[in-house]
Amino acid sequence: MAHTILITGAGNGLGLDLTKKFLELGWQVFAGYHRSAERLKALTPVASGAAGSNLMVVPLDVTKTESIRRAFETVSSATPALDILLNNAGVHLEDKHTPFAELDFTDGHLEKSMAVNAFGPLRVVQQFLPLLEAGEGRQIINISSEAGSIGDCWRKQEFAYCMSKAALNMQTKILHNCLQPHGFRLLAIHPGWMRTDMGGADADIEAEEAAEGIVKLITARDRGARQGQNLDDEPGDGLYCDYQGKPLRW
């Protein structure tokens, strides 16, 4: 049986590249998207022409429980189990250069940032838990950021983004405490500063490079889980790292 993964926010950027990588490995990929699926639909011929049948494009708004429930029904009609949930959907809604005194906290960007980046993954985990419990991998991966680290915080701006990612990190730790006794493995990953719509043209790396590193981390942990290895005894607590596997401070 093919390995199965659900990727949220798969319509562009890192999510799109992650979808490509897992299709190339022959995984069954359920690609959740919010606005547009055009780039996903263009992936049909990928991976020697065979991967098209391994891709299911799923409408998914992580801020709405009803949308997540409909996505669960769609995915569960196609597979009895999920090995991995990759919470990638995220937003960055702030101008980095606006002085603090001029920031508009009435325009809804604070609430939307938390709704997508922090509460969205929590909703998705809850609704998809039955499929994950039926899978062999039992991995939940949250795409976080070094911006969510309190110990290494250097920023003087980007309140909504940084606070939402710090909340996502806390969620990762709590879910680990809750689900690890049932065989689940949690991981929060900083993908690096990527040249995407969110990261901008001046960023350090292409999304493809980040995706390659993340896929290596995930597949190594998946192999370990299937072999009964304890992958939680890593440097630190093994729950927060960058796309190359380097541990980060909470």
Tens-place pLDDT, residues 60-92: 999 999 999 999 999 999 999 999 999 999 999
pLDDT for the residue numbered 50: 46
pLDDT band at 45 (very low <50, low <70, confident <90, very high): low
Report d(CA 60, CA 17) in Å as an integer. 18
pLDDT for the residue numbered 51: 44
Q: What pLDDT, in 10s, does the model give residues 211-220?
A: 999 999 999 9
Q: State the chain's mean pLDDT as an integer.
A: 91
Average pLDDT over residues 3-8: 97
Report d(CA 20, CA 23) in Å as an integer. 5
Q: What pLDDT, in 10s, does the model give residues 100-151?
A: 999 999 999 999 999 999 999 999 999 999 999 999 999 999 999 999 999 9
Report d(CA 184, CA 182) in Å as an integer. 6
pLDDT at 48 over 50: no
pLDDT at 232 over 60: no
pLDDT band at 49 (very low <50, low <70, confident <90, very high): very low
pLDDT for the residue numbered 229: 64
Q: Count of domains in the chain?
A: 1
User: Which CATH number belongs to the domain containing residue 75 in this structure?
Assistant: 3.40.50.720
- Please name the residue that has the structure tokens 């995407």: 196
Confirm whether 131 is domain-assigned: yes
Confirm whether 9 is domain-assigned: yes
pLDDT for the residue numbered 75: 98
**Under 8 Å between Cβ of 145 and 165:** yes
Q: What pLDDT, in 10s, does the model give residues 153-189?
A: 999 999 999 999 999 999 999 999 999 999 999 999 9
pLDDT at 44 over 70: no
pLDDT at 243 over 70: yes
Domain range for 141 is 4-242
Confirm whether 250 is domain-assigned: no
Q: Shortest CA distance to 125 belongs to which of 138, 111, 108, 110? A: 138
Confirm whether 8 is domain-assigned: yes
Confirm whether 55 is domain-assigned: yes
pLDDT for the residue numbered 22: 96
Catalytic residue IDs: 161, 165
Q: What pLDDT, in 10s, does the model give residues 8-38?
A: 999 999 999 999 999 999 999 999 999 889 9
pLDDT band at 1 (very low <50, low <70, confident <90, very high): low
pTM of the model: 0.92
Confirm whether 70 is domain-assigned: yes
pLDDT at 210 over 60: yes
| Residue 152 token pair | 């290494």
